Amino acid sequence: MSHLSLRPGARILDLTCHEGELVEYFTHLGFESMGLDPDLGSIQKGHQLHPELSLYQHDLDNIFYVNYFDLAIAFNPNSFWHDHPSLNHFRIKNALSALKEKSIFLFKSPWARDQELENLSLYFSEDLFRMEKQVVQDLVKGESISLFILYKK
């Protein structure tokens, strides 16, 4: 996370917020945070746990903000990834469009998607972003995971 140098009040979008745990964390740190998730049950539970948070059930294929957020995250791969690569590329493109210039999209990838993601430059202009991949240890599950960092230019 040393790559993140967010100013106070920065806008953060959690694209797979589940019940809003990370939205609560970032809001507590003073960031303007919003969470989206396709699962209505998760959003309803999140509203029960955190009624003050901006949590919305939303189709991730239709991002409704453009050039608005300073950081987008997607740490719940089950909510974000489709089985078809072209739909994943579409979601990544939508996430990037929600970001301001010189912002970051940080997401977790299931291992099965690593090769697909490493070839993103085949689908997008390299003028749009720069990508890094880091393999880190998931402290909760005790397994290695891939974190991809897309820097929007």
Is residue 111 scored above 60 in pLDDT? no
| pLDDT of res. 145 | 73
Summarised one tens digit per residue, pLDDT across range 8-28 is 899 999 999 999 999 999 999
pLDDT at 67: 92
Give the per-residue pLDDT at 1.
43
- CATH fold of the domain at 11-152: Rossmann fold (3.40.50)
- Quick one: pLDDT at residue 19? 95
Domain boundaries, the chain: 11-152
In this prediction the pTM is 0.84
CA distance linking residue 12 with residue 26, whole number of Å: 8
For 35-55, what is the mean pLDDT? 95
Which of the two residues, 141 and 44, has the higher pLDDT score? 44
- For the residues 25-43, what does the mean pLDDT come to? 94
d(CA 24, CA 46): 10
Q: Could you tell me the strand order of the sheet in which 54-57 lies?
A: 54-57, 32-37, 11-14, 69-74, 99-109, 144-152, 129-137
- CA–CA gap between residue 14 and residue 18 (Å, rounded): 9
**What pLDDT sits at residue 126?**
63
